Amino acid sequence: MDFDLSEDQRAFQRTARDFARDRLAPHAGRWDEEKHFPAEELREACQLGFGGIYVPEALGGTGLSRLDAAIIFEELAYADPSTTAFLTIHNMVAGMIARFGNDDQRGRWLEDVVMGDKFASYALTEPGCGSDAAALRTRAVAEGNAQYRVNGSKAFISGGGRSDLYAVMLRTGVDGPKGISCVVVEDGSPGLSFGKPESKMGWNSQPTSVVNFTDCHVPVANRLGAEGDGFRTAMMGLDGGRINIAACSLGGAQACLDAALAYVKQRRAFGKTLSEFQALQFKLADMATELEAARLMVHRAAVALDTGARDATLRCAMAKRFATDACSHIVDEALQLHGGYGYIKDYQIERYLRDLRVHRILEGTNEIMRVIIARKLLEAS
């Protein structure tokens, strides 16, 4: 096994790092406070190739791997986990259109999504079923051969009210996972509406809202894949989404560890710098060790997904569970090392703490990750 990055990987890592430093970091605190959606900067990221990272080059994307994507998202999240997380969702939908869409659908949507001319959201969670995705109730009834009439709602949708396309999981058939299909709903569709933007603890640079469908008319031609394939499509997307959100946690935790290292070397107490106290040295050592372990798990899971390994779902769940828990703890410890200053917005640690907290909930809660891990282990034994 080679743990060193290739020259190509180092090149796009530098590109992502430079973009994060120049275009995200100077504004991330203000975007958080003002709840500003940075559309211009997101388009710039897409134009660098970060809007269709795992869309094949033949379809206009960058054609990179899941491991490559994890490297990029970690660098971007070092400056702004919230904005980066929206970009991961946008990439998820781009990948779904590329993989499951037909030529007509790719022609209609893919270039605009890859280039950031249209933003895309993923809509699975509902007000009455979060972790139990197979129980979703939003329903599409065929009206003839050309149109669905959709009724229901989706909750906690990143980009709700701001995105141009919504990849929606809805029920076109029987109860359970076999009755679910994936349909792309375009903004402006008759019967599509949005709830008020949610007031959130973090992730404030991206709007989140309920998405409502009231006799919403959607062309059957907007369905990705066959009827009944939607749950499989959703779960395949979530494996990658778990890697992506874990990578965002890595970036935020690395930023806070770096900030803590700089702070303890200049802050003095009892006649010494904080870095001279062995108790705090041990804390820093544990933070760095946990972060490195999390990064290795995320990269290993990404490789499993790239190679189509049989245990890819298991590894993605493990990496997501471990990395999001560990990185939340690292950020909290970094805040503690800053003392009262860590609690003040000027130092930005509290922003990372708020942004990373939700990573333990979304893309499947960490409790559900444990269910998946245990189930896969028992199946293999």
Per-residue pLDDT 10s for the chain (381 aa) are 788 999 999 999 999 999 999 999 999 999 999 999 999 999 999 999 999 999 999 999 999 999 999 999 999 999 999 999 999 999 999 999 999 999 999 999 999 999 999 999 999 999 988 777 778 999 999 998 899 999 999 999 999 999 999 999 999 998 888 999 999 999 999 999 999 999 999 999 999 999 999 999 999 999 999 999 998 888 888 899 999 999 999 999 999 999 999 999 999 999 999 999 999 999 999 999 999 999 999 999 999 999 999 999 999 999 999 999 999 999 999 999 999 999 999 999 999 999 999 999 999 999 999 999 999 999 998
User: Of the candidates 219, 226, 230, which has an alpha carbon nearest to the alpha carbon of residue 138?
Assistant: 230
- Note the pLDDT of residue 324: 98
Which residue, 184, 210, 226, sits at the end of a domain? 226
- Note the pLDDT of residue 128: 81
Give the CA angle between residues 362, 364, 367 to the nearest 5°.
Answer: 110
Boundaries of domain holding 249? 231-380
Separation between Cα atoms, residue 73 and residue 81, nearest integer Å: 9
- Note the pLDDT of residue 197: 95
Could you tell me if residue 2 is inside a domain? Answer: no
Say whether both 236 and 375 belong to one domain.
yes
Say whether both 241 and 333 belong to one domain.
yes
Give the distance from CA 267 to its chain's centroid: 35
CB-based contacts of 262-271 (< 8 A; 24+ apart in sequence): 263/337, 263/338, 263/341, 264/337
- Note the pLDDT of residue 177: 87
Give the CA angle between residues 362, 211, 188 to the nearest 5°.
Answer: 135
Which residue, 61, 90, 119, sits at the end of a domain? 119
Say whether both 214 and 329 belong to one domain.
no
**Per-residue model confidence as pLDDT tens digits over 159-185:** 999 999 999 999 999 888 899 999 999
Write out the two tokens for 90: 């946008």
Could you tell me if residue 1 is inside a domain? Answer: no
Catalytic position from the list 33, 75, 363, 367: 363
Separation between Cα atoms, residue 183 and residue 165, nearest integer Å: 10
Say whether both 198 and 251 belong to one domain.
no
Three-state secondary structure of the chain: CCCCCCHHHHHHHHHHHHHHHHHHCCCHHHHHHHCCCCHHHHHHHHHHHHCCCCCCHHHCCCCCCHHHHHHHHHHHHCCCHHHHHHHHHHHHHHHHHHHHCCHHHHHHHHHHHHCCCCCEEEECCECCECCCHHHCCCEEEEECCCEEEEEEEEEEEECCCCCCEEEEEEECCCCCHHHEEEEEEECCCCCEEECCCCCCCCCCCCCEEEEEEEEEEEEHHHEECCCCCHHHHHHHHHHHHHHHHHHHHHHHHHHHHHHHHHHHHHCEECCEEHHHCHHHHHHHHHHHHHHHHHHHHHHHHHHHHHHCCCCHHHHHHHHHHHHHHHHHHHHHHHHHHCHHHHHCHHHCHHHHHHHHHHHHCCCCCHHHHHHHHHHHHHHHC
Say whether both 191 and 331 belong to one domain.
no
Q: Active-site residue 363, yes or no?
A: yes
Helix axes 7-19, 66-77, angle to 10 degrees: 30
- Between the alpha carbon of residue 94 and those of residues 141, 160, 166, the distances in Å are 26, 17, 11
- Note the pLDDT of residue 322: 98
Say whether both 363 and 256 belong to one domain.
yes
- Note the pLDDT of residue 75: 98
Number of Cα atoms under 13 Å in the Cβ half of residue 91: 35
User: The domain that contains 28 carries what CATH number?
Assistant: 1.10.540.10
- Note the pLDDT of residue 103: 97
Separation between Cα atoms, residue 312 and residue 289, nearest integer Å: 24
User: The domain that contains 328 carries what CATH number?
Assistant: 1.20.140.10
Q: Residues 6 or more apart from 370 whose CB is under 8 A from it? A: 321
Q: How many domains does the chain have?
A: 3
- Note the pLDDT of residue 102: 96
Say whether both 329 and 211 belong to one domain.
no
**Per-residue model confidence as pLDDT tens digits over 133-148:** 778 999 999 998 899 9
Say whether both 194 and 211 belong to one domain.
yes
Say whether both 278 and 291 belong to one domain.
yes
Strands 120-123 and 165-171: parallel
pTM here is 0.96
Say whether both 115 and 12 belong to one domain.
yes
